[in-house]
């Protein structure tokens, strides 16, 4: 019988081997090619986050993602963050506009050698889904590469991998694309080190409409949206943090 521990190890090795094989054969695509951004705003933010990590080596919790994650620093969301995550010495590593390749580059270069966070919340990929930039499969590859890199650099850290949040007021093709990605990355859940949670339905009305009071631009969260996010992950996150003691 294959134990959970062995299954977890095999999943990580498989993800790493798949990525290595793709690299060797030249099949890497933009979502899996680690890349920094060239705009000064990004460079400044990335430098700030590196300093946060150096100053908070005792953090118990990381949040990794794009503008939706960075939005925890917004006016209303700050209070939700303070109530739910400050007690865990949480560090926000979100950068607006980031795609999987940018997060991957940041994880490779981040000063986390001495950090031992108990958990990391990861939600990334929506920016890769714009237009024809990347296919659902490519975006899922990029997310898998991020999970593999996190497991490599922070092997003791539990990963709470969130499904990409829905976007657009009504049913639309992009929502379908995100759903396909979430169905694939759910398979990264090994029950031990990587845990998948899809909370997207909590933002929708029963008729499938995404309310403006939750996502004013139908992509980024309002204070109410961040309250929903915090509440939706609270039980699972507390479980992971407790198991890591």
Average pLDDT over residues 89-99: 98
**Any catalytic annotation for residue 220?**
yes
Q: State the number of CA atoms in the 13 A half-sphere of 108 facing the CB.
A: 13
Q: Which of the residues 39, 58, 79, 217 is marked catalytic?
A: 217
Q: Which of the residues 29, 30, 88, 220 is marked catalytic?
A: 220
Question: Quick one: CA dihedral 24, 31, 94, 40, positive or negative?
Answer: positive
CATH among 3.40.50.280, 2.60.40.1180, 3.40.50.1110, 3.90.1150.10 for 4-243: 3.40.50.1110
The whole model's pTM is what?
0.89
Q: Tens digit of pLDDT for each residue in 142-192? A: 999 999 999 999 999 999 999 999 999 999 999 999 999 999 999 999 999
Q: Tens digit of pLDDT for each residue in 12-49? A: 544 554 444 444 444 589 999 999 999 999 999 999 99
Q: Tens digit of pLDDT for each residue in 179-238? A: 999 999 999 999 999 999 999 999 999 999 999 999 999 999 999 999 999 999 999 999
Q: Which of the residues 8, 30, 67, 244 is marked catalytic?
A: 67
**Any catalytic annotation for residue 243?**
no
Which pair of structure tokens corresponds to residue 8?
Answer: 């977890």
């Amino acid at each position: 019988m294959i134990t959970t521990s062995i299954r977890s190890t095999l999943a990580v090795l498989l993800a790493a081997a798949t990525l290595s094989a793709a690299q060797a054969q030249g099949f890497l695509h933009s979502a899996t090619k680690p890349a920094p951004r060239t705009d000064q705003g990004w460079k400044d933010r990335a430098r700030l986050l590196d300093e946060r990590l150096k100053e908070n080596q005792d953090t118990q919790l990381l949040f990794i993602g794009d503008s939706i994650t960075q939005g925890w620093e917004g006016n209303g969301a700050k209070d939700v963050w303070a109530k739910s995550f400050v007690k865990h010495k949480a560090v926000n590593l979100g950068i607006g506009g980031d795609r999987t390749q940018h997060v991957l580059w940041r994880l490779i270069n981040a000063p986390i050698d001495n950090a031992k966070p108990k958990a990391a919340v990861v939600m990334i990929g929506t920016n890769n889904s714009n237009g024809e930039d990347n296919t659902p499969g490519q975006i899922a590859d990029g997310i898998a590469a991020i999970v593999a890199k996190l497991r490599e650099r922070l092997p003791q850290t539990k990963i709470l991998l969130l499904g990409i949040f829905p976007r657009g007021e009504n049913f639309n093709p992009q929502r379908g694309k995100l759903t396909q990605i979430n169905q694939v990355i759910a398979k990264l859940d090994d029950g031990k080190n990587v845990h998948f949670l899809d909370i997207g339905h909590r933002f929708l009305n029963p008729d499938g409409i995404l309310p403006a009071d939750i996502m004013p631009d139908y992509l980024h969260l309002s204070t109410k949206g961040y309250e929903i996010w915090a509440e939706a992950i609270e039980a699972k996150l507390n479980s992971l943090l407790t198991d890591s003691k």
